[in-house]
Amino acid sequence: MDETLEKMYETCYMKVYSFVMTLAGNKDTAQEITQETFFRAMTSKQQFRGESQQLSWLCAIAKNLYTDQLRQRSRFADELPEDSPDSSSIEQTLADEDQSFRIHKALHELEEPYKEVFQLRVFGELSFKQVGDIFRKTESWARVTYHRARMKLKERLDNDEV
């Protein structure tokens, strides 16, 4: 394995796994998607171009893989077995997935640096100091930017802009 790719794997694996775990809520799914993310990153013709942080690039790949998996599952939703859970729990799951999709869509449309700061803080589980260090800014800057990102997301969700 290329030394750069190996370093990327070592530094980002747990952060990507945490991000996917937040999306999927399932350990096995999170492990599978995380491994597929690194496989795609290492074998893809579209190599990392340095236009964003490596972690953001990897999380974008992971998010796309997770979205693809959700689409694939929804194709088979009509073919539920007779011993499937009652419809109220299915409706709740779909409502939760719909809300999650709305949040991720709003986050996707959020401008930089708000989007990346929010993702690093929430999905990457980084401290404000670490986020500030990544941007070569202060911890206070990271806190303010994160707070503004949350307010922008809340405003978009409250106004049904997504």
Strand positions, DSSP E, 33-104: none
Please state, rounded to an integer, the average pLDDT across all residues of the chain.
77
According to the model, what pLDDT value does residue 156 have?
A: 83
Residue extents of the structural domains in the chain? 1-76, 99-162
CA distance 64 to 71: 10
Three-point CA angle 152, 153, 158, nearest 5°: 100
CA distance 127 to 42: 28
pLDDT exceeds cutoff 50 at 98? yes
User: SS3 of 112, please?
Assistant: coil
What is the topology classification, in CATH, of domain 1-76? Rna Polymerase Sigma Factor; Chain: A (1.10.1740)
CA distance 158 to 10: 39
**pTM of the predicted model as reported, rounded to 2 decimal places:** 0.45
Task: Specify whether domain 99-162 bears CATH 3.10.20.30.
Answer: no
Kindly state the greatest CA–CA separation across the chain: 56
